[in-house]
Structure 1
């Protein structure tokens, strides 16, 4: 390798030196490249193998690569859902000594997909709405730490399945800025308008290519992020006044925020001089209420909705076995050993890359419910696991690696038909295969 290569890295991995940095990214050999679906980008992005992992490599300018690397590290420190920065490579030259573009290296987020790979044939309104809702939550979270994104879009986001919903992760931070004093209302509204316009354009592009359902209205769906964002922002930061005799509403507000998946770190409570009115306002709110509780009780790390679903099953286990008064942590350990881990171990090794463990468990619970409804009897867990593995999981795409195809639409080897008796809280994506009947 000619020239003086500069590597700034967050990890100490000598394998970084083994990648062919002397070649333009579009000329890298096939044995180095990992074929994964990628979203739209103004820069050339490719996936590569590195020490048994997959990394995303983006060609850009030196200043932009360093700036985005630093920004992603800052966002990670603020616990914002985003991709993990690995390295910045500058001073690249080819074998003739001619300069090559600098690159930013980030770790591929396992089990995540760009929005264009989250549906099989056409994007349905329900799925599009859930994607937009997930992006609204992400936008609220970045705004709460003082981050102005500047290029909010579905394309600059990765999505992971989260118990019938989606969890959104920021991918592209090159246009973003962090403000220590927080964002003004004007900055937030600017980001929100950028999001609305970009989402409308992305959905119209899919519509022009015949890849959305006839009933999907790109304008209506894109406008949905405005309503979702403002509703959540008001719930998280808005003040509330009530009579001093209604102090129970303080607890109600906290529980409402917990249900949304947020914890209150500090709550401001003020009373009028005559003591007849009480005013409360959350000051600092952290996301991941159910995630933290599940992690504390079981050591399982899951998305927020997945954590909520697993905790609900844990609570059902406590009630079913008369352990409501037993120590919560002891019951959680018993549930983990007797219920969750046997399900995970029952998944064949060749199928464990299909979905995250928590998502598999969530889908299994839904599958068991459908079996019970269809057969009008209680279904033993072992029977439900066997049916789910053979009838559902085996026919899913492998979302840990998603090796084929690299871009564009993805065709499943099954036909899906909507079940008319699906529960209202079940997932609605046909690719979830839990609220849909399968026809192989």
Structure 2
């Protein structure tokens, strides 16, 4: 490592000094490189091992690296889903003293995947639509805080599974700019048009390579982001007028926003001079309504849709035990100890890189429902856990350490071993006091 190396870092990890910064990124030895899927980028990007975790390293200019580093830190403070900036490395030189490109280092977002890695053989229309919907939510959140992206695309986004949907995270912020006074309608429409064109191009590229289902229409899917964006933007920011006798519509509007996963921190309410009309408009909208409730009640940090699903199960548990009148936090702790944690502990160690615990629990609930449909009677949770592990989870690829998108037929032999009932016996089906054995 050259003595003039300059590191600007938000992390205090001395292991940064051990990476081979004196080599061009493309020449780094294999022992430093982590094989993970990455999206299309105009710059060289590689993943590297760093003290037990993985970082993404992008070669760029010093100015762009510093600008993107600071922008990502600012977006994090605004609670925007994005990758975590780790460091900017400049003044790199090789063994002969020749300059090397500066780099931006970001932490790899565990359990996240680029869009090309989210399908095995062909991209189906419903999967593509869910990806575009997730990107629309991210774009709305960015525009609410006054961020103009300038390069909206599936390639510049990472996706994490979120209880049947996806959550989108911004990856590339080098073209973005934050406006304190907010964005004009023209700036928002410009970003939206960039998104529509880029998504159409990305899907047409997949279509040309035979990577999409025959029924997928790239243009229709890309047009979908416009409708999804405008619908959500109107709900979050649009004004609404009604007669003073319909004041219940204020709570209805707040309820709709909560259902969408947003909280209102401030609401402007104006009445007419005659006192017959009320006009309301959300002024400050904060995403993560269900996430915050779940975190407050249980300490679990999950995606918004995952949190909604876990809270639904918590509410069902509370109702089944007749504990609606008891303290909500006390019941939540009981649910956590008796239901959620035993399920997570039942997952064999070698399978825990497959999915996040909250996603596993969501999929388990779905699997239990399907088993009940097939059997025409309720299935005890312990039985559903064993079935899910051996028939579903074992056959998934690891999304914490996935190597890359599968493009051909999978030919592999998987041994389904008998379930260790001692390890997963989270309930006693014969115990009449055990809610999970009955519901």
Which interval holds the TM-score relative to the shorter structure?
over 0.9
1:38 equivalent in structure 2: 38
Aligned residues, how many? 413
Q: Which structure 2 residues correspond to residues 6-155 of structure 1 after superposition, within 5 A? A: 6-155=6-155
Task: For 1:338 and 1:378, locate their aligned partners in 2 and report how far apart those are by CA, in whole Å.
Answer: 19
2:198 equivalent in structure 1: 198
1:379 equivalent in structure 2: 379
Task: For 2:224 and 2:19, locate their aligned partners in 1 and report how far apart those are by CA, in whole Å.
Answer: 43
2:331 equivalent in structure 1: 331
2:407 equivalent in structure 1: 409
1:295 equivalent in structure 2: 295
2:419 equivalent in structure 1: none
Q: Which structure 2 residues correspond to residues 428-439 of structure 1 after superposition, within 5 A? A: none
Whether the aligned pair in 2 keeps the contact of 1:156 and 1:172 (CA below 8 Å) is yes
Whether the aligned pair in 1 keeps the contact of 2:89 and 2:104 (CA below 8 Å) is yes
Is the partner of 2:252 in helix, strand or coil?
Answer: helix
Task: For 1:50 and 1:190, locate their aligned partners in 2 and report how far apart those are by CA, in whole Å.
Answer: 39
Is the partner of 1:192 in helix, strand or coil?
Answer: helix
Please report the RMSD computed on the Cα atoms of aligned residues, expressed in angstroms. Answer: 1.2
CA deviations 1:172-214 (Å, max 9, x no partner) are 0000000000000000000000000000000000000000000
2:421 equivalent in structure 1: none
C-alpha displacement at 1:26, in angstroms? 0.5
CA deviations 1:282-309 (Å, max 9, x no partner) are 0000000000000000000000000000
2:233 equivalent in structure 1: 233
Task: Name the structure, 1 or 2, with higher relative contact order (CA <8 Å, separation 6+).
Answer: 1
Is the partner of 1:199 in helix, strand or coil?
Answer: helix
2:430 equivalent in structure 1: none
Task: For 1:3 and 1:194, locate their aligned partners in 2 and report how far apart those are by CA, in whole Å.
Answer: 43
Whether the aligned pair in 1 keeps the contact of 2:268 and 2:280 (CA below 8 Å) is yes
Task: For 1:66 and 1:356, locate their aligned partners in 2 and report how far apart those are by CA, in whole Å.
Answer: 32
CA change 1:103–1:322 in 2 (3 A) is same
After TM superposition, the runs of 4+ consecutive aligned structure 1 residues lying more than 6 A away are none
C-alpha displacement at 1:401, in angstroms? 1.1
Is the partner of 1:201 in helix, strand or coil?
Answer: helix
Task: For 1:366 and 1:220, locate their aligned partners in 2 and report how far apart those are by CA, in whole Å.
Answer: 30
Whether the aligned pair in 2 keeps the contact of 1:396 and 1:412 (CA below 8 Å) is no
C-alpha displacement at 1:89, in angstroms? 0.2
CA deviations 1:288-336 (Å, max 9, x no partner) are 0000000000000000000000000000001111111111000000000
Whether the aligned pair in 1 keeps the contact of 2:120 and 2:406 (CA below 8 Å) is no
Task: For 1:366 and 1:70, locate their aligned partners in 2 and report how far apart those are by CA, in whole Å.
Answer: 41
Q: Which structure 2 residues correspond to residues 334-349 of structure 1 after superposition, within 5 A? A: 334-349=334-349
Whether the aligned pair in 2 keeps the contact of 1:116 and 1:409 (CA below 8 Å) is no
CA change 1:356–1:280 in 2 (3 A) is same
Whether the aligned pair in 1 keeps the contact of 2:121 and 2:406 (CA below 8 Å) is no
Is the partner of 1:109 in helix, strand or coil?
Answer: coil
CA deviations 1:205-235 (Å, max 9, x no partner) are 0000000000100000000000000000000
Instruction: Extract unaligned runs of 5+ from structure 1.
Output: 416-440
Task: For 2:171 and 2:318, locate their aligned partners in 1 and report how far apart those are by CA, in whole Å.
Answer: 40
TM-score for the superposition, normalised by structure 2: 0.93
